[in-house]
């Protein structure tokens, strides 16, 4: 999908992503759209919306849409914090997209790939995925990173 200078409607974004995930074999009943999470840190309250959570008995993948044409990479670290703080067990993958560019974060070993829609693993692949290892993290640091990001810092 080509990005124009105009803001893309939420319906068009969701429609495009639904089509993409259906083409990759994901069952509709495992796709949870526009999930809302609440986060509190030092008397600050935040609402976090995740565009898509793919879940089958456990979270497999999360995806966030950002309209940014440039700087999509600036959302990588906060997205990792979201995966770590809101999901247990962790999702295998996190995806960032503006519908033109895609960033695939392999959450457990923290590997990053950049490209197009082809980066999103198909359903068969993600079901058989085995993370190589889980890199430990500090919850307090993740909370600080997310609070900093969400407060516009």
pLDDT digits (tens, 9 = 90+) for 137-150: 899 999 999 999 99
Mean pLDDT of 69-85: 88
Does the pLDDT value for residue 103 go beyond 90?
yes
Going by the DSSP 8-state scheme, the letter that residue 23 receives in this structure is: H
DSSP string over 63-79 = EEE---SS-GGGGHHHH
Q: What is the mean pLDDT of the chain?
A: 91
Higher pLDDT, 8 or 50: 50
Tell me the CA distances in angstroms from 35 to 49, 54, 86, 114, 129, one per residue in order.
Answer: 6, 11, 11, 24, 24
The structural domains of the chain, ordered by start, are 10-151 (3.90.1570)
Specify the pLDDT at position 70: 61
| pLDDT band per the 50, 70, 90 thresholds, residue 1 | very low
User: CA-to-CA distance for 130 and 137, rounded, in angstroms?
Assistant: 19
Cα separation of the two ends of the chain? 31
The pTM (predicted TM-score) of the whole model is: 0.89
């Amino acid at each position: 999908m080509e990005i124009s200078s105009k803001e893309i409607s939420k319906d068009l974004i969701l429609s495009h992503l639904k089509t993409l995930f259906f083409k990759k074999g994901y069952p509709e009943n495992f796709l949870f759209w526009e999930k809302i999470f609440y986060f509190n840190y030092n008397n600050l309250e935040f609402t976090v919306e995740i565009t898509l959570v793919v879940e089958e008995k456990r979270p497999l993948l999360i995806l966030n849409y950002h309209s940014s044409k440039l700087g999509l990479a600036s959302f990588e670290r906060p997205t990792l914090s979201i995966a770590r703080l809101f999901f247990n067990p962790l999702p295998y993958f996190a995806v960032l997209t503006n519908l033109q560019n895609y960033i695939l974060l392999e959450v457990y070993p923290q590997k990053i790939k950049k490209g197009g829609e082809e980066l999103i693993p198909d359903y068969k692949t993600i079901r058989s995925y085995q993370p190589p290892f889980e890199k430990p993290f500090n919850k307090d640091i993740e909370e600080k990173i997310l609070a900093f990001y969400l407060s516009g810092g």
